[in-house]
Structure 1
Amino acid sequence: MSNSAIVLVGRILLSIIFILAGFEKLTAIAGTAQYFASYNLPAPTVLAVLAGLLELLAGLAILIGFQTRIAAYLLALFCIVTALIAHMDWADGMQLIHFQKNLAMAGGFLVLAAFGPGSLSIDAKRG
């Protein structure tokens, strides 16, 4: 398999969770806002919409390789912020795993931001 195909598979794997999570947040805003409120976040409904849009749109951008570096930086930051807000109860083993998962995904996005989306992307076709 060529490096371009491997990068494409990597983009697909990185994007799936964010596309699905963003769609879920946007189609269940009330529940998402209630969840955000449980963390005492300000304006939970606004944050729920913004988080859902970020995850969905940046996830799609990663998938198709459009404005990949920007989307990758945004999702890396999102992963770190989410880890620091929602996954700090390390006495709960699952929270520690989620914290580490978020950091690992942030690392993957930073690598993608640094090296680009590969030749099988809209960014590559646009030059």
Structure 2
Amino acid sequence: MSATNSNTNSLILLGARVLLAAMFLLAGFPKLIDPSGTAGMIAGAGLPAATALAYIAGIFEVVSGLAILLGFQTKIAAFALALFCLFTAFVFHNGPIVVPDFPEGANNLLTMFNGLIFWKNIAVAGGFLGLAAVGAGAYSIDGRRG
């Protein structure tokens, strides 16, 4: 591979890392400030210790998001985030949404949005699996460490 191709690929991987990390950093910090919305979703899915799990999810999203952004232990962080995306897709975004006393059309719209989030999570998991396969590229802590 030529140096130009290598530099181009590393820039593309840097861009991918920034875009993927942004979602988890922007989702993780609010969970640490006010976990109540996430705790409600967790409790609604029937999982125990909803508030504790919301904080754990927030910490995981921030720490793994930073690891992806900086390119530190990228393959491990990317694989963990792929699993996280698959888990959240199937546990929280798989199926209809029915809010009591909402009009049927509103519930249908919420169900449609939930389906979009399901497939977004599946697609993002695929992106993370690709990153887990190839690593962070040269413009990363992993790249500097060899």
TM-score, normalised via structure 2 length: 0.82
Root-mean-square deviation (Å): 1.4
8 Å CA contact 2:137–2:143 kept in 1: the answer is: yes
> How many angstroms apart in 2 are the aligned matches of 1:35 and 1:97?
17
Aligned residue number for residue 112 of structure 2: 93
Aligned residue number for residue 118 of structure 1: 137
Amino acid at match of 2:13: V
Amino acid at match of 1:101: K
Post-superposition CA distance 1:11-34 (Å, at most 9, x none): 000110100101011111233323
Residue 42 of structure 1, CA deviation = 1.0
Instruction: Give secondary structure in 2 for the equivalent of 1:120.
Output: coil
Structure 1: stretches of 5+ with no match in the other structure: none
> How many angstroms apart in 2 are the aligned matches of 1:8 and 1:119?
9
Instruction: Give the paired residue count.
Output: 127
Match of 1:17 among 20, 23, 26: 23
> How many angstroms apart in 1 are the aligned matches of 2:75 and 2:60?
14
- Larger deviation: 26-35 or 94-103? 26-35
Instruction: Verify: 1:53 aligned to 2:25, yes or no.
Output: no
Amino acid at match of 1:16: A
Residue 49 of structure 1, CA deviation = 1.2
Structure 2: stretches of 5+ with no match in the other structure: 1-6, 97-107
Aligned residue number for residue 30 of structure 1: 36
Amino acid at match of 2:71: G
Residue 120 of structure 1, CA deviation = 0.3
- Larger deviation: 15-24 or 88-97? 88-97
Structure 1 moving runs of 4+ over 6 Å: none
Residue 35 of structure 1, CA deviation = 2.8
Instruction: Give secondary structure in 2 for the equivalent of 1:82.
Output: helix
Match of 1:73 among 56, 63, 79: 79
Q: Percent identity?
A: 52
> How many angstroms apart in 2 are the aligned matches of 1:111 and 1:86?
24
Post-superposition CA distance 1:41-76 (Å, at most 9, x none): 111112111111111100010001001011101100
